[in-house]
Structure 1
Amino acid sequence: MGAEQRNSTRRRAIPWVVLALWIGVLALASPFASKLGDVQHDRVTDYLPASADSTQVAKIQEQLPGGQTTELVLVYHRTGGLTAADRTMAAQQLAQIGTLHPLAATPHGVPSADGSTLMYPVTSNWPGTDEKKRTALVDDIRQVAQDKGGLTVEIGGPGALATDAGKVFDSLGGPLLYTTVAVVAVLLILIYRSPVLWLVPLVVAGVGDFLSTGIAYGLHQAFGTTISGQSTGIMTILAFGAGTDYALLLVSRYREELRRVERPYDAMRAALRGCGPAVLASSGTVAAGLLCLLAADLNSSRGMGPLGTVGVLSALVAMLTLLPALLVLLGRRVFWPLVPAYGSTPKARRSLFTAMGSSAGRRPLLVLTGGAVLLGALALGILNLPGSLKQDDTFVDRPDSVTAMRTLAEAYPERSAQPIDVVTPAARADATLATIRATRGVAGAQQGRSGHGWTEISVTAVGAPQSAAETRTIEDLRHTLKGSYVGGPSAQQIDLRDTNARDRLVVVPIVLASVLLILIVLLRSLVAPLMLVAAVIAVWGAALGIGGLVFGPLFGFQGTDPGLGLLSFVFLVALGVDYGIFLMHRMREESTGGAEPVAAALTALRTTGGVIASAGLVLAATFAVLTNMGLVQLVELGFVIAVGVLLDTFLVRTYLVTSASVLLGRKVWWPGRLSRAPEAVRPERQPESV
């Protein structure tokens, strides 16, 4: 067998071997992927800071007899005043509820001063930490407690709020996946204009997502990584969004090589050599940025780092192995009807990015200054961001649990309808109870369960839930009660706010340092990395500013999630630099080939602009899927990242980075070799005539 025949046999065999290996990998991952839902939880402790008082309270409550309690409030209300029949109806419904599920104590009604409302605090230990049982308990109570003849019945309290939030997080599974797939499919059809080609990267992205679920389960089993609905939703979005981005870059380069190289296998090898380093570097940058979240104290943020990284890297492996194998096996016909024939040249046409590059090249200083002023003006919208998000403002559509709490706030202005939970060493329970009752802002307190050396005390504050008065009461209790822990829903919100502020101070510098170091190593320059990092910081500020202009006035949101700043920063810096690498890598490639700085910058934009634009649209669209979810914090996060990606794609990468590169010239590569002008070739000295 000749060398050429052996090479031909190898070219035909390698794609099939890769495909067979992937079938084996998926078979191994399948049992683990199917178990991810079993370890996914959206408990309070999964979203709280690891070291906070409120987290310790929640953990100790799980150990007390009956496990973690489910606290509910049944609210009976009639405008104009409750009737005797209404009170009888309420008593009958409470009795029926007691026969369905065991209650910790017999509920006693608390009438409002105006006689329009009757409040029944209900506590059950039956669900413990089982979220499905808690949901069943709340749903069963809602089935019994029905409106009748002008009497409204609402179910509020921490248990009802947690149940409604849990239902939203459950929707991050199937609905989020289906919506993401549909959005990516539509965009790929529009981008490729082919009835077949769009399906290949979409299937490969799905394979990457499936692999990531199996790995995520393994991380949980091996390291106890927190698995929440939020983190798995982000993992899916990154697997499809980032994976499709890598596919767009690879397919674009592969199409170029098919015009120059006869065999698809050889064309794919050339494409991988050409764009592989940029894809590896960009995915490595995203992964490094996300892993910096491990330094966060907030459990949900810390768990999101590894899972987001798993989503990106799973998509990367799939796109650099399985996608090339499938494209080679399908041959040129996968591009039908726009098949790139060997030896052909693409139809010459003036693209949008050629025009944009020309304008940036003609007036780079004007373009750069104008863009910087625009981003700065948009960033001023941050001043209009609403304050911290309260617990009952976290839902986009107001559920029954939220309307119940607002009814209580209006009917009982003199007391809080949401308890403050204190756990104290059992030996000091009586002294702690006396201290609590003597604390400013406390309306009442009573002992609860005891076990494992701890006693639970339920405290009622004078101030309304999450008001300034209640916050002062919680802070006073924490200052006074040494050796005890103060928790509950309002205390959790305080801890979330404080921990997010701490995490920003710790994580942001780590993200900037790690991303900058990777860029310096990759681009072998100091100026280009600083330029890219400055650009993505500007994008982050502008995207948050746009959020400030629309969250309150347009969306009607009453607050901003405390974690929005940190999470949006990590994602926009990591993903924004991702696109910068695509552009600067091609610019460096052109410069290394001998192109002058201006020509290199404009050529890089012309050749990669379309791919970056397509990738940006796909990524923005996948994050925009979050705006269709039912929680305000998810809508805010999805909106800011989607807007930031679009700004980065169509303003910063195309205009500002290109114009800055044109202005800097060779200095953009300082102090690397490309920053120095090539030495002029001296003419050979002619021998002197004799």
Structure 2
Amino acid sequence: MLGLWIAVIALVGPFAAKLADVQHDKVTDYLPASADSTQVAKIEEKLPGGETTEMVLVYHRDGGLSAVDWETAAGQVAEITRQHELIGGAPKGIPSKDGTTLMYPVASNEPGANEEQRDKLVNDVREVAQGEGGLSVDVGGTGALATDSGAVYDSLGGPLLYTTVAVVAVLLILIYRSPVLWLVPLVVAGIADYMSMGVAYGLNQAFGTTVSGQSSGVMTILVFGAGTDYALLLVSRYREELRRIERPYEAMVAALRGCGPAVLASSGTVAAGLLCLLAADLNSSRGMGPLGTIGVLCALIAMLTLLPAILVLVGRRVFWPLVPAFGSTPKQRRSLFSAMGSSAGRRPLTVLASGAVLLGALALGSLNLPGPLKQEDSFVNKPEAVVAMETLAKAYPGRGSQPIDVITPQGRADETLAAVLGTPGVDSAEKGRTGDGWTEISVFAKSAPQSAGETATIKSLRDELKGSYVGGDSAQQIDLEVTNARDTKIVVPLVLVSVMLILIGLLRSLVAPLLLVVAVVAVWGASLGIGGLVFEPLVGLKGTDPGLGLLSFVFLVALGVDYGIFLMHRMREESLAGAEPATAALTALRTTGGVIASAGLVLAATFAVLTNMGLVQLVQLGFVIAVGVLLDTFLVRTYLVTSASVALGRKVWWPGVLSREPGPAEPAGSSGPAEPPRQPESLRAP
């Protein structure tokens, strides 16, 4: 097995290194596939010179611009015009009414323009446009904002990986209390991540799957989070078997046989849930589905093949100093989960009702979520382009400072321009580039960007201009909100159905799967509610990412069901061995509580790493998922699922064989003569 993995690494190595080459964070990688704004962006890329790089130079002095400031601005703009080919030649400055600000719209479509050329152009302009002596100069506009966004996405890869590895390493050291053991699953997770990068590159080459900074980052999080969870479960069971079986190889076979079905079902729910994102119209969501699935499956394969091989080769000494000796018995002590289970078992209905009320109250916090996330609010630390936009908004209130892009058939350009100028809310418009059968028209609204007035203008343009496309930054935000609402209605039912089918197949019941699904949906609502209480009031985030609801639902339902699977699978084993329903539920909680709590902490910590990234959408997604995993681990699974199982008794397994009362001479789950109850194979706390 070890030799096979060496061959696999050698095979995927060259492809893994190429993943960064196909990773793009262009506008079209995040927009809806069928939206107007996406068509505009695609056509603009094909127009002569490629997509136009639009910028705004913003000169500002709080006390008012002086004559020297005007001369400085004019000289710098003239220098930029000499260095670069600008559309329309040297731009004219537009002063604000209060005399504090002067803006110069700048646009260029120099030959060969692409992402690298755009970034070079923006940086060249910023080198020239410098202020001094209290004069501030900021370069904003769509081109500058795209450059700043790309810089943030490019910075995600390294810090995200290093921070994730560090967090997982610290938690594993604390969990295992061994100077060596923690390193084994961490190295295996790193190899799984490397393999997932190679597979993701192959998928991109074969099917054109979108690879963005967001999707590749989440793939890494899933590899380390889910992979470490599987490792915790396997190592825990392996340690238990080493006390019972002398040879490590045979102990590992028994461990895989015992926890393998639950781990396979667990990864299956995550993979199925993520693949449902293929039904989304939003490119970023649809691309995240395959990449997330690749991450989970690579982690699963590595943890069920490479990890066992290494552990068997190293032997018992990997557990030093707490080596499980053959024939030894672990110290029996009353665990925290035993106490929790006892309280849930004494008053199951009271605990269930109290927990439901608490989750419902927390879910109400979602009503306090801030409104849609505006472009300028999507960064944790404001880049220069956002500072420029904020200055423009204050200095030019009620005036559009970024264009609405209209793409119209070339033969109807004059007719479309006239219709645009006659549309309510339009301040000005002019024709730009022409090519490939299309003409570009830049439109400025009378209202500020992403305001209600500008939104109404964009909708009016789309209603009036049949056969044309209306795009631009503000139109993209509108399309994102509409598409996310559409995707939610389609993807959510698919996720619920796919997860239910897997649970029904594993647990052979209808009630138990329904209980688990309802529990994780309640966790999702409560997590969003906590986000509503934290995002704006405590952290100061001024908007909510339109995709937060859908993505957090997919991840929390798929990942949250995992822990329910481990609990209910153990409960089913106890019931098959003859335990009464209440006893089976409490035993399952006591014996699985420690390892699942450890797994939950690791998974929550890995997603919490996203809260340290520079993009608000990643911060919000990481926070909601981390909080949801903790709620599921320490409240819902511990108290609510256990108390509901105790209250329902055998009905939790309806209509399976365990839902029926056994005869006087046969244990539960038996179909023949009574046999002495066997010791069930189970998951044990580390």
TM-score, structure 2 length as denominator? 0.96
**Percent identity between the aligned chains?**
78
The answer to which of 406-415 and 40-49 deviates more is: 406-415
2:70 aligned residue: 87
- d(CA) in 1 for partners of 2:658 and 2:50? 65
2:115 aligned residue: 131
2:58 aligned residue: 75
* 1:637 and 2:625 aligned: no
1:655 aligned residue: 639
* 1:677 and 2:655 aligned: no
Match of 2:47 among 52, 61, 64: 64
Residue 99 of structure 1 and its aligned partner are, at CA, apart by 4.1
Q: Which amino acid aligns with 1:87?
A: W
* 1:519 and 2:503 aligned: yes
Residue 82 of structure 1 and its aligned partner are, at CA, apart by 1.4
Q: Where do residues 589-600 of structure 1 align in structure 2 (5 Å cutoff)? A: 589-600=573-584
Match of 1:401 among 362, 377, 385: 385
Q: Is this contact kept in 2: 1:425–1:484, CA < 8 A?
A: yes
- d(CA) in 1 for partners of 2:169 and 2:123? 37
Q: Is this contact kept in 1: 2:48–2:111, CA < 8 A?
A: no
- d(CA) in 1 for partners of 2:234 and 2:257? 10
Q: Is this contact kept in 1: 2:54–2:106, CA < 8 A?
A: yes
Q: 2:430 is paired with a residue of what secondary structure?
A: strand
- d(CA) in 1 for partners of 2:173 and 2:383? 38
* 1:433 and 2:428 aligned: no
> Residues 293-328 of structure 1: CA distance to partner in whole angstroms, max 9, x if unpaired?
000000000000000000000000000000000000
Match of 2:523 among 528, 539, 551: 539
1:382 aligned residue: 366
- d(CA) in 2 for partners of 1:36 and 1:96? 39
> In structure 2, do the counterparts of structure 1 residues 347 and 128 end up closer, same or farther at CA, with 3 Å as the change threshold?
farther
Q: Where do residues 265-344 of structure 1 align in structure 2 (5 Å cutoff)? A: 265-344=249-328
Q: 1:259 is paired with a residue of what secondary structure?
A: helix
Q: Where do residues 478-557 of structure 1 align in structure 2 (5 Å cutoff)? A: 478-557=462-541
Q: Is this contact kept in 2: 1:441–1:461, CA < 8 A?
A: yes
> In structure 2, do the counterparts of structure 1 residues 414 and 586 end up closer, same or farther at CA, with 3 Å as the change threshold?
closer
Q: Is this contact kept in 1: 2:49–2:113, CA < 8 A?
A: no
- d(CA) in 2 for partners of 1:657 and 1:141? 60
Q: Which amino acid aligns with 1:189?
A: I
2:35 aligned residue: 52
Q: Where do residues 149-160 of structure 1 align in structure 2 (5 Å cutoff)? A: 149-160=133-144
> Residues 212-236 of structure 1: CA distance to partner in whole angstroms, max 9, x if unpaired?
0000001111111000000000000
2:220 aligned residue: 236
- d(CA) in 1 for partners of 2:114 and 2:435? 20
2:19 aligned residue: 36
> Residues 612-666 of structure 1: CA distance to partner in whole angstroms, max 9, x if unpaired?
1001000000000000011111111000000000000000111111111111111
1:189 aligned residue: 173
In structure 2, the gaps of 5 or more residues are 667-686
* 1:180 and 2:164 aligned: yes
- d(CA) in 2 for partners of 1:168 and 1:244? 28
> Residues 515-543 of structure 1: CA distance to partner in whole angstroms, max 9, x if unpaired?
11111111100000000000000000000
- d(CA) in 2 for partners of 1:99 and 1:187? 57
> Residues 330-375 of structure 1: CA distance to partner in whole angstroms, max 9, x if unpaired?
1000000000000000011111111111111111111111111110
Residue 68 of structure 1 and its aligned partner are, at CA, apart by 0.8
* 1:216 and 2:200 aligned: yes
Q: 1:56 is paired with a residue of what secondary structure?
A: helix
Q: Which amino acid aligns with 2:436?
A: H
Residue 127 of structure 1 and its aligned partner are, at CA, apart by 8.0
Which structure 1 residue ranges, 4+ long, deviate > 4 Å from structure 2?
Answer: none
Q: 2:440 is paired with a residue of what secondary structure?
A: strand
Q: Which amino acid aligns with 2:31?
A: L
Residue 144 of structure 1 and its aligned partner are, at CA, apart by 1.9
Match of 1:259 among 243, 248, 264: 243
- d(CA) in 1 for partners of 2:628 and 2:200? 28
- d(CA) in 2 for partners of 1:425 and 1:303? 31
- d(CA) in 2 for partners of 1:110 and 1:89? 15
> In structure 2, do the counterparts of structure 1 residues 386 and 517 end up closer, same or farther at CA, with 3 Å as the change threshold?
same
- d(CA) in 2 for partners of 1:19 and 1:241? 23
Q: Is this contact kept in 2: 1:536–1:573, CA < 8 A?
A: yes
1:12 aligned residue: none
Q: Is this contact kept in 1: 2:238–2:252, CA < 8 A?
A: yes
Aligned length: 665
- d(CA) in 2 for partners of 1:561 and 1:194? 41
Q: 1:552 is paired with a residue of what secondary structure?
A: helix
Q: 1:337 is paired with a residue of what secondary structure?
A: coil
Q: Which amino acid aligns with 1:21?
A: L
Q: Which amino acid aligns with 2:29?
A: D
* 1:601 and 2:598 aligned: no
> In structure 2, do the counterparts of structure 1 residues 129 and 210 end up closer, same or farther at CA, with 3 Å as the change threshold?
farther
Q: Where do residues 551-590 of structure 1 align in structure 2 (5 Å cutoff)? A: 551-590=535-574
Q: 2:286 is paired with a residue of what secondary structure?
A: helix
Q: Is this contact kept in 2: 1:127–1:133, CA < 8 A?
A: no
The answer to which of 258-267 and 142-151 deviates more is: 142-151
- d(CA) in 2 for partners of 1:515 and 1:673? 22
Q: Is this contact kept in 2: 1:127–1:134, CA < 8 A?
A: no
What CA RMSD, in Å, does the superposition of the two structures yield over aligned residues?
Answer: 1.1
Residue 97 of structure 1 and its aligned partner are, at CA, apart by 2.5
Q: 2:69 is paired with a residue of what secondary structure?
A: helix
Q: Is this contact kept in 2: 1:69–1:128, CA < 8 A?
A: no
Q: Is this contact kept in 2: 1:327–1:334, CA < 8 A?
A: yes
Match of 2:5 among 15, 18, 22: 22
> Residues 29-49 of structure 1: CA distance to partner in whole angstroms, max 9, x if unpaired?
011101100100000000000
Q: Is this contact kept in 2: 1:69–1:127, CA < 8 A?
A: no
Q: Which amino acid aligns with 1:102?
A: E
1:413 aligned residue: 397
TM-score, structure 1 length as denominator? 0.95
Q: Which amino acid aligns with 2:647?
A: L
> Residues 89-117 of structure 1: CA distance to partner in whole angstroms, max 9, x if unpaired?
11222233234443333222111222221
Match of 1:143 among 124, 127, 143: 127
Residue 129 of structure 1 and its aligned partner are, at CA, apart by 6.2
- d(CA) in 1 for partners of 2:599 and 2:511? 25
Q: Is this contact kept in 1: 2:51–2:114, CA < 8 A?
A: no
- d(CA) in 2 for partners of 1:341 and 1:409? 71
* 1:96 and 2:91 aligned: no
Q: Is this contact kept in 2: 1:62–1:128, CA < 8 A?
A: no
In structure 1, the gaps of 5 or more residues are 1-17, 683-690
